[in-house]
Structure 1
Amino acid sequence: MKLIKLNAIDSTNDFLKDMSRNEVVENFTTVVAESQTKGKGQMGSIWNSEQGKNIIMSTLVNDVLKDASDIFHLNVAISLAVIEVLQDLNIPKLSVKWPNDIMSDTKKLAGILIENSFKSDNRIESIVGIGLNVNQKDFILLPKATSLSIVMKKEYDLDDLLNKIVFQIRKNCALIVSGQSELLWKEYHQKMFKIGIPVAFEDVNHNQFMGIIQKVTDEGKLQIIVEDDSIKTFGIKEITMLY
């Protein structure tokens, strides 16, 4: 693994994308920063992080996805890579809140943003951005956030965690390449936040309703049984879970 360490950067995802445009970049090259000024989350949200307290990283993933229909396989693999590392640390009540927020109980530990590019030679290049709250203890403006340090009452070595996450990413990506994605999907559904229990949602028109998560489809959409017992499917920007 090629590792690039930066002090401050606008966005590790953007930095790695620029690198890839201008030079040949080794697969699984990882950029990590102590702080970033324009960290991005799902749907354009901002990822804020105290300097030097957390993992802010982006990893280049090539030669894993073969077709556009397989794109969500990578989301599944990356979400589980983070969860598997945290399981080894005995972090309690871990789950994946669709599509790929990592939770401990009802608090968010990590966010993942994957940006895919379709190349002229039909390759799919993915930039995997991960923000993991590790040693930060102040989340006054983020009441639904937490960190490993808060949960476990101890501090962690960031370099050690980073290496373990990249190792697990490579391991899970190898399952996709070898045609064993169903193993990842099975675990992903087992780890889903609030799956199988009634929970409130809000759609883009601000209509609230109760539903029960059934599964995530191969395309990465959320399948929910709604109050009239019909099954509806929602894309990432079409629904918000209220919890």
Structure 2
Amino acid sequence: MYAGAYHAARLRQQLQSKQVSLADLHVAESLDSTNADALLRVQAVSPDRFVVTLADTQTAGRGRRGKRWESPPGGSIYLSIGWRSNLPLDYEPGALPLAIGTAVADALASQTGLKLALKWPNDIYLDAGKLGGILLESRVNARTMSLVVGVGINLVRDASITGTVRQAVRFLDDHAPGQDRQALVVAIIAECIQAIGRFRRDGLAGFHPAWEKYDLLNNSEVRVHAATDPFNGIARGISESGELRVETADGLRLCHAGEVSVRVAE
């Protein structure tokens, strides 16, 4: 069942059985933000060791581009994975949310059998509605960069989400009822930590086949809202470094995640 607290000791055992070793695992009933908590906790551990923060609810959950992430109690997933890397980095972290998206989709698909999709750059979709999202945040000091990847997944239908979000949303329990929330979390954490290791070693290149499998926008007409005038085009997958490729009447344009928002054209 979704309801009820996570069992921290069992969670650690389940992760260890998947060869996932954590420097710190923090499970809370309520936090302002799991990302904020994980960013603090990585300061106390050695570089390249992982910390994980889980909460049953967030009072100040964060989404992409400063948006609020609605985080009611009662069964959804709010988790963050953090680590520190020595500077200079030997990898470019900007495209990491795309790799993490494929990892989360793989984990959910393996646990539920559902057909998931990914909407560039960081949304997880189910049945043409948003099921969840991913947020990468970082902090730099003199010698290291701290990074945290937050994952939010809607599990149980809640009016505070459906009543405030302006787009179609989906809830896992409507499509795959009776899932074990802790088992879902274990699968997500294990897949994400494996993906982070692969990304640090090989970059985004190794994730292109998985992205193509899940790509919601590919070959669809899209409306791109940029700092200048919005424009329409046909989505043509992602570039080697993770930009959205959009074919327009004037040629191919590359869209950077931090600069635009994208919708399927109506």
Give the TM-score band, short-chain normalised: 0.7 to 0.9
User: What residue in structure 1 maps to residue 19 of structure 2?
Assistant: none
Per-residue deviation, residues 77-104 of structure 1 (Å, max 9, x unmatched): 2111110011111122x21111111011
**Pairwise CA distance, 1:189:** 3.1
- Spell out the pairing of 1:206-217 with structure 2 (5 A cutoff): 207-217=229-239
Contact map agreement 2:58 2:72 (CA 8 A) in 1: no
Specify the alignment match of 2:25 in structure 1: 3
Residue 171 of structure 2: aligned partner:
147
Q: For residues 96 and 61 of structure 1, do their structure 2 counterparts lie closer, same or farther at Cα, with a shift above 3 Å needed?
A: farther
CA distance in 1, matches of 2:142, 2:123: 31
CA-CA distance at 1:237 after TM superposition: 4.2
Tell me by how many angstroms 1:219 deviates.
4.1
CA distance in structure 2 between the aligned counterparts of 1:42 and 1:65, rounded to whole angstroms? 25
Task: Check 1:73–1:237 CA distance in 2 against 1; reply closer, same or farther (3 A cut).
Answer: closer
Is structure 2 residue 210 aligned with structure 1 residue 187? yes
- In structure 2, the residue matched to 1:111 is 133
C-alpha deviations, 1:106-154, integer Å up to 9, x for none?
Answer: 2011111111233433x433111111111234423334111111223x1
Normalising to structure 1: TM-score of the pair? 0.86
Residues 188-242 of structure 1: CA deviation (Å, up to 9, x unaligned):
133221111223333335x44321112323443222111x141112222433223
Q: Take 1:183 and 1:163, find their aligned partners in 2: how far apart are those partners?
A: 23
Superposed CA deviations along residues 58-78 of structure 1, whole A, max 9, x for unmatched, are: 111345997376213422221
What is the CA–CA distance in structure 2 between the aligned matches of 1:218 and 1:104, rounded to whole Å? 26
1: CA distance, partners of 2:63 / 2:70? 10
The structure-2 alpha-carbon separation of the partners of 1:178 and 1:209, relative to structure 1 and needing over 3 Å to count, comes to closer
Identity of aligned residues (%): 23
SS at match of 2:157: coil
Residue 53 of structure 2 is aligned to residue 18 of structure 1:
no
Distance (Å, rounded) in 2 between the aligned partners of 1:8 and 1:209 = 41
Q: How far off is 1:8 after superposition?
A: 1.1
- The one-letter code of the counterpart of 1:225 is E
1:202 touches 1:208 (CA, 8 Å); kept in 2? yes
What residue in structure 1 maps to residue 157 of structure 2?
Answer: 136
Show the counterpart of 1:126. 147
Correspondences of 1:52-131 after superposition (within 5 Å): 52-63=74-85, 67=89, 70-88=92-110, 89-92=112-115, 94-121=116-143, 123-131=144-152
> Does the Cα contact within 8 Å between 1:225 and 1:231 map onto a contact in 2?
yes
Shift in CA distance, 222/3, structure 1 to aligned 2, threshold 3 Å? same
Q: Secondary structure at the match of 1:47?
A: coil
What amino acid does structure 1 have at the position aligned with 2:225?
A: E
The number of residue pairs the alignment matches comes to: 237
Name the counterpart of 2:184: 161
State whether residues 65 and 71 of structure 1, in contact with CA within 8 Å, keep that contact through their aligned partners in structure 2: no
* Runs (5+) with no aligned partner, structure 2: 1-21
In structure 1, C-alpha distance between the alignment counterparts of 2:31 and 2:182, rounded to whole Å: 18
Q: Separation in 2 of the partners of 1:17 and 1:34?
A: 18
Question: Paired residue for 1:236?
Answer: 257
TM-score by length of 2: 0.79
1:5 partner SS: strand
Aligned equivalents of 1:69, 1:27: Cα separation in 2: 16
| Alignment-derived partner of residue 3 in structure 2 | none
- Whether contact under 8 Å (2:91, 2:200) holds in the other structure is no
Shift of 1:166: 0.8
